[in-house]
Amino acid sequence: MTAPSIGARWSTRAPEILSVLRIVTAFIFILSGTVKLFAFPMGVPPNGGTVPLLSEAGIAGVLETVGGTLLLLGLFTRPIAFLVSGEMAVAYFQVSFPQSFWPVVNQGIPAALFCFIWLYISAAGPGPWSIDAMRGGRS
């Protein structure tokens, strides 16, 4: 009998890597919200500060901070990931796409990547390192 290849062994770790992808992406996503709501770790460019809470950017900040925290914990993962995926699609097409077709030119790379990572996680689920998995749920 031969030992399994590195590729075969690595692929058995896919569920854990899914959890790592969710956790790291959520942490970065939370920072997008805290910049808007709390000017942490910096204020909103170009002048710093925060955005009005009841503005479109303020609502986005709430979705990113609260939704990102739920995603970090892996709680209600599928519906929250689907919701914020849509938020990022709206952000991309409202803010970035009108500037240019090319994401590298229109500064839309973060919104596009967040959109598709959250869309994937809404379908794939949270992975084993999540509150949803501990609860035995499929969220």
Over the stretch 37-69, which tens digit does the pLDDT of each residue have? 999 999 998 889 999 999 999 999 999 999 999
Work out the pLDDT band at 86, boundaries 50, 70, 90: very high
What pLDDT score was predicted for residue 7? 82
What pLDDT score was predicted for residue 95? 96
Q: Which residues of 106-135 are buried (b: 16+ CB within 10 A; e: fewer)?
A: bebebbbebbebbbebbebbbbeebebbee
**Which string of DSSP letters, residue by residue, matches 92-111?**
IIIIITTT-SSHHHHT-HHH
What pLDDT score was predicted for residue 137? 66
What would the two tokens of residue 49 be?
Answer: 């500060």
Picking from 119, 43, 35, the residue whose alpha carbon sits closest to that of residue 77 is 119
